[in-house]
Amino acid sequence: MLAKNAFNKPIGFGILLSLLIFLFNPASVAASEIDPTSAQEWFNAGIEQIERENYQQALLDFDNAILFWKRYVPMTDYANANALDPDFTAAYSNRCLVQIHLNNYLQAKQDCTQALQHQSDNHSAYLNRGLATYRLGDYQSAIADYNVAIQLEPNSVSAYYNRGLAYAAQDNYLEAIADYNRAFCAMSVPDNFQLATIYNDRGLAYFSLGDFELAIADFDRAIHFDTNNALAYYNRACACQRKGHYREAIHHFTLSLQRDPNRAEAYISRGLIRYQLGDRQTALADLRLGAECFCQQGQLVAYQQILKLIEQIKQTFTDFESIIV
């Protein structure tokens, strides 16, 4: 018997929103004993490297900025360092952001905690620490940080959106949907990428609740705002598959693969549907492509599973032909 399809699950965008819209702009150097030719320049360089997505270098730059600030701020004034120069706190919060990009979530959490020790009302530090704790799997602590971020800035799109993701991770999909709706309401100037991202994740929440019609409607909205959104096409295909609309599912898996040819799950899901519909040769071709993607991505367990599935299908062909003969 063929194994059940374990690859037709919809996929979320993750929490990219706060990473994209909460960069600090360099502030002017306050009157203090901090050397402006060292600490401030390192800080500015770190900001520039984040914008270039050169995160390893940005990490080094913020390390140096913090080192210089610590060197020049008297120990008696260290707790009030942010009053001397706001960029002292910003350096910690931005280094947290860089650590998140580098998947160093524990260090990111520690950096944001340091930032909050110097400035307890720093909205972005709460937001980024929430993201770090989310990535560590501590969803309740993430929600607590987002709650404070919302208290500080009641119209924070990212705080509502990220809190929604944390609720979804706890399988609390109704609360997640409520927060995604709040994120929509908080948008003063709608951005197509943000709209597509939130619609996709709200669609995932509806999908998880078994409401495939509402899920498809949201995936369609995501595609409307981002026509190259491979994930939304993939997720829409998964919803169509659950509804038994197999031809439509194949169509949307194909559209997803046109935009992201390396999505192994789309090949596998499309191949399994084609097998169910009796299109065995194209099914095998899809499974082989999916296996190749898994291999190239280093997902060797999944690669071996698909190779085993291919052998099962081929054996089914052989058994069927021997019965006919």
CATH number at residue 54: 1.25.40.10
The torsion of the CA quartet 58, 59, 64, 66, rounded to 10 degrees, works out to 110
| Residue 276 placed within a domain | no
| Residue 236 placed within a domain | no
pLDDT digit string, tens, across residues 283-300: 999 999 999 999 999 999
- Tally of structural domains, the chain: 1
| Residue 178 placed within a domain | no
Q: Report whether 252 contacts 244 (CB < 8 A).
A: no
| Residue 21 placed within a domain | yes
pLDDT at 87: 57
| Residue 25 placed within a domain | yes
pLDDT at 23: 35
| Residue 226 placed within a domain | no
| Residue 10 placed within a domain | no
pLDDT at 29: 36
pLDDT digit string, tens, across residues 71-95: 765 544 444 444 445 557 788 888 9
Ranges under pLDDT 70 in the chain: 1-37, 72-87, 317-325
- Nearest CA among 292, 319, 317, 17 for reference residue 157: 17
> Which DSSP category does 76 fall into?
G
pLDDT at 314: 87
| Residue 56 placed within a domain | yes
Quote the domain boundaries for residue 100. Answer: 16-139
- CA distances to 33, 69, 278 from 249, rounded to whole Å, are 64, 56, 15
pLDDT at 64: 87
Q: Exposed, middle or buried, 286 (CB in 10 Å: 0-12/13-18/19+)?
A: buried
